């Protein structure tokens, strides 16, 4: 069982420090190239949880290129056996996300967080956050709908400190900082250019009473530095690099290495 304690925004449990939610999209992507069910997404998620991961994330895109609807329900069934761990579904609330969330909850299955991401259907991966004030009016009712299910709502956001009061006003519980620009700058030795915006956005979110998550292109090289530089990050969701690392180190050892980065990043 994970050492989880309640803290922070939203009513669900999180362990002290930054939680690691493993995104298993890329396991499904490989599985979908044949009809054999290999590798198993549920088995991969089980290995992550057994190794100490705090949660599982999926981003079921409308074209089901990786995570399919049945994966969402299969993983939610798995999470029932891990009461301390969290299930986070990411996606565009104007596409398939809200209906999936409703169905998970209707089946009596656990769902802790929905992360709203403004991706278009044909996008190859996420590449920007919501815009405020432009998106506020159309997001508000969907945020209310998902929160009425008892599910926390996090909004995928670029590092824009000035948007945080509007994110709070629209009813979100958390923001997820889109970290691609941090990851690229880290790889290119340009951290001074980007770090202040991430740290300022986290501080602005915390001032508003929002929780702070982060994700996209985080990896074993940049995760510790990110968490040292950006205050109060409650959860990182990591998939692409982590699943790649698992090919080299195995899933359990890989998860342990990422957990070690979160611990080092929190000191």
Long-range contacts of 74-83 (CB under 8 A, 24+ apart): 74/41, 74/42, 75/24, 75/41, 75/42, 75/45, 76/104, 76/107, 76/109, 76/110, 76/111, 77/109, 78/42, 78/45, 78/46, 78/49, 79/109, 79/110, 80/109, 80/110, 82/2, 82/49, 83/110
Determine if 239 is a binding residue for ligand LD2JLWAY (CB under 6 A): yes
**What is the smallest separation between the CB atom of 122 and ligand DXP, expressed in angstroms?**
12
Q: Which of the residues 115 through 154 are near ligand LD2JLWAY (CB under 6 A)?
A: none
Interface mask toward ligand DXP for 126-155; x: CB under 6 A:
x-----------------------------
Q: Which of the residues 186 through 225 are near ligand DXP (CB under 6 A)?
A: 215-216
* Alpha-carbon span 51 to 234, nearest angstrom: 19
For the question of residue 90 being annotated catalytic, the response is yes
**What is the smallest separation between the CB atom of 216 and ligand LD2JLWAY, expressed in angstroms?**
4
**What is the smallest separation between the CB atom of 93 and ligand DXP, expressed in angstroms?**
13
Return the number of the residue (170 or 241) whose C-beta is nearest ligand LD2JLWAY: 241
Phi then psi dihedrals of residue 102, to 5 deg: -60, -40
Determine if 23 is a binding residue for ligand LD2JLWAY (CB under 6 A): yes
In this chain, which of 158, 173, 217, 245 binds ligand LD2JLWAY, going by CB under 6 A? 217
Determine if 113 is a binding residue for ligand LD2JLWAY (CB under 6 A): no
Determine if 266 is a binding residue for ligand DXP (CB under 6 A): no
Choose the catalytic residue: 86, 90, 176, 235.
90
Element spanning 242, H or E: helix 240-249
The answer for residues whose C-beta is within 8 angstroms of residue 185's C-beta and 6 or more apart is 191, 193, 194, 195
Which two three-digit tokens encode residue 145? 């709908």
Binding positions for 3-amino-2-oxopropyl phosphate are 23, 34, 217, 239-240
């Amino acid at each position: 069982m994970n050492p989880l304690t309640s803290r922070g925004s939203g009513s669900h449990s999180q362990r002290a420090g930054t939680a690691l939610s493993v995104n298993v999209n890329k396991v499904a992507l490989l599985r979908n190239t044949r009809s054999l069910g290999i590798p198993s997404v549920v088995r991969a998620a089980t290995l992550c949880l057994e190794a100490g991961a705090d949660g599982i994330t999926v981003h079921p895109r409308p074209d089901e290129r990786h995570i399919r609807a049945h994966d969402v329900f299969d993983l939610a069934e798995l999470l029932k056996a891990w009461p301390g761990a969290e299930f986070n579904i990411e996606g565009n609330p104007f596409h398939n996300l809200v209906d999936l969330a409703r169905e998970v909850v209707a089946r009596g299955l656990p769902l802790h967080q929905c992360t709203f991401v403004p991706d278009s259907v044909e996008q190859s991966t996420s590449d920007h956050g919501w815009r405020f004030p432009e998106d506020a009016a159309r997001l508000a009712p969907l945020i209310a709908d998902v929160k009425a299910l008892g599910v926390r709502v996090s909004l995928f956001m670029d590092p824009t400190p000035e948007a945080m009061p509007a994110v709070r006003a629209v009813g979100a519980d958390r923001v997820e900082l889109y970290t691609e620009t941090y990851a690229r700058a880290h790889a290119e030795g340009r951290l001074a250019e980007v770090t202040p915006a991430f740290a300022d956005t986290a501080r602005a979110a915390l001032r508003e009473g929002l929780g702070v998550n982060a994700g996209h292109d985080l990896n074993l090289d940049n995760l510790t530095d990110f968490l040292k530089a950006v205050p109060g990050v409650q959860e990182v969701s990591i998939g692409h690099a982590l699943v790649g690392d698992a090919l080299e180190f195995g899933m359990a050892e890989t998860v342990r290495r990422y957990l070690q980065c979160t611990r080092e990043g929190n000191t």
